[in-house]
Each structure stands twice: as C-alpha cells, then as structure tokens.
Structure 1
Amino acid sequence: MTHHQLTGEAAPPLAPVRQLTLRFSSTRRGARLARRLAVQQFTEWTGLPYDSDPARAVALVAAELASNAVRHGSLPGRDFRLALLLLPDRFRIEVTDTRPDRLPPPVTPRPADETSGRGLLIVQSYADRWGRTVRDAYTKTVWAEVLLPTTGS
C-alpha cells in the first residue's frame, strides 16, 4: 500500500497489547531521545535483540518521524508527542506535532546527489505501512508500522 491509500486511517485497526505515550522537546536532543526510547521499548516488549532487523527498522523510522516533527512540524515552545503501540502483529510509531498545516509531501525518488529530503523515502522503505492523520486544528500525527516477525511452528 502507498502513503496515499493510507492517509485517511484514523486509528490502528487492532487494539494495542501495550502502549506508551511521552512528550519530547522539539529539539534535536528530543528527537534523539524519542528514537532511543522507541528502540528500547520495542526490544523490551518483543524480546527481539537490539541489533535485529525489525529493531533497526524501528530505529530508522522513529528517527525520521521525530526529526521531521522537529524540523517541519514545530512551533516555538511546543513539544511533540511520541506514542508507541505494540499490536498483536506489528509495532506502531506515532509522532504528533503542532503543525497540521504542514502535511508530509508525496514521496518521490530523489537524485543520488541530494543530501536532504529523503526522510519519508526511508520511512516508506522500512515501514510496512505509514500515513498521516489530522484530528483537529492544532495537531497532526504521522504514523508508521513495522511488522513483527512471525514464529514458525
């Protein structure tokens, strides 16, 4: 599925098994802490190692969503919110910022020599689904989901 097919989704389709929500300052440090917390909670909740492919995907996706909230979605003195949801078959990362007027642009390939503007390409590459939701006039949420590995019997 593409971003455009998913932008209307308002909530995760399954009830969360575990959930954590925290606020971070809209700074580079806040984005870094959000990424580290996302990976820590992922490994704690799933029991998967920190260096597993799903944990790396969570780290990259959380880093991009948080840094985009800081760079493109912040207003002076306003924090961003990170919500982590462990669903039965996936891990969902939600980042809510204070700029609903600045929606993520469509994802398009970038030339190899460009040094910025690839964050959503990374999210699209490492997340199984992602999108954005605007619920009110003050905030927007950009979310992404990483599927959990299935255990074979």
Structure 2
Amino acid sequence: MNQETASSGSQLEARVRNFSVLLSPTPRGARLGRLLATEQLRTWGLPTDPAAHVVAELAANAATHGRVQGRDFRLTLYVVGRTLRIEVTDTRGDRLPCAGRPADDAESGRGLVLVDALADRWGVIPAPCPRKTVWAELDLAPAPEAL
C-alpha cells in the first residue's frame, strides 16, 4: 500500500507519506524490502542513506530472528514532516531485540548496534500477540530555501 496525503498550512505544506509491504521472512524477502524501500525513498525525492542500511538491518533481523514458518513480516515507511519512520513488524513477539554489544570475535549480532548508530531514535513496540514492531526514526534535513 502506498499513500500520500497533503494538507495546506500557512507557508509550509505538511505531507504525510506511507508505504507498506508484506515480505517473506527469508534473506530474499529482506533484500527485496531494502530494494523496495530505496526505490520508494527515491520516488519521494528523499535521500536513501542511511535509511537503506537501517531497513536492511531491521528486515534481516525479522527474517532471521522473527521468522515463523508461513508468516510474513511487514515493512512500513512513514514520512511525517521532517521525520522518516521505518517499522518492521514480525510474528515473534516473544523474541525482543536488544542492542547489546557482541563479543569481538562474534560473527553476527551487530545489526542493532548499527541501527542505534545510524538512527536518531529506535525502539520496539509489543503488538497484538504474537507480533512486535521494531522501529527507527531518521530526522530528514530541512529542504533548501527556494531562491
């Protein structure tokens, strides 16, 4: 689902945009999520970095740690004002993420450390059982002044 609404204000036009897609909880689904998010951000005229990295990490976590056979995960992008919110909802509400630092010799476990470094804010929201939503917000740069 892709939706855009605009409401007229004084001189600023407030736009609310959203994009949402169900993806298979596989490495292929996670890659597709990153590609679709990147293309949607380009369509909206927004920068793709660091959002593409955040989407990649959250989608990979959903495909790896939030996977339940036969149940998809949802990727949603919201733009409200100057904030991009990325949400990934999976069906493993019993497995909450933590951004603890992994051991130096660990081969995985750095995804949320990256999200923590790249996002301005992030967290997890328990959703109706058995789901959870991991979200991250990025503050977008103000639009350049018109000449």
Place the TM-score, normalised by the shorter chain, in its bin: 0.7 to 0.9
- Give the match for residue 79 of structure 2: 86
- Give the match for residue 144 of structure 1: 136
Q: State which structure, 1 or 2, has the greater radius of gyration over its C-alpha atoms.
A: 2
Alpha-carbon distance in structure 2 between the residues aligned to 1:79 and 1:73: 10
- Give the match for residue 28 of structure 1: 27
Alpha-carbon distance in structure 2 between the residues aligned to 1:104 and 1:16: 31
8 Å CA contact 2:101, 2:109 repeated in 1: no
**TM-score, structure 1 normalization:** 0.80
Matches within 5 A, 1:109-124: 109-124=101-116
Structure 1 114/72 Cα, relative in aligned 2: closer, same or farther at 3 Å?
same
Which runs of 5 or more residues in structure 2 are unaligned? 1-13
* Residue 126 of structure 2 is aligned to residue 134 of structure 1: yes
* Residue 67 of structure 2 is aligned to residue 74 of structure 1: yes
**What secondary structure, in the 3-state scheme, does the structure 2 residue paired with 1:109 have?**
coil
Alpha-carbon distance in structure 1 between the residues aligned to 2:90 and 2:103: 28
Which runs of 5 or more residues in structure 1 are unaligned? 1-14, 49-53
Alpha-carbon distance in structure 2 between the residues aligned to 1:92 and 1:116: 25
**TM-score, structure 2 normalization:** 0.83
Tell me the C-alpha RMSD between the 2 structures.
Answer: 1.7
AA partner of residue 53 (structure 2): L
Structure 1 110/18 Cα, relative in aligned 2: closer, same or farther at 3 Å?
same
More helix by share: 1
More strand by share: 2
What percentage of residue pairs aligned between the two structures are identical? Answer: 50
- Give the match for residue 103 of structure 1: 96
**What secondary structure, in the 3-state scheme, does the structure 1 residue paired with 2:43 have?**
helix
Equivalent pairs counted in the alignment come to: 132
Q: Select the structure with the greater relative contact order (CA < 8 A; seq sep ≥ 6).
A: 1
8 Å CA contact 1:42, 1:91 repeated in 2: no
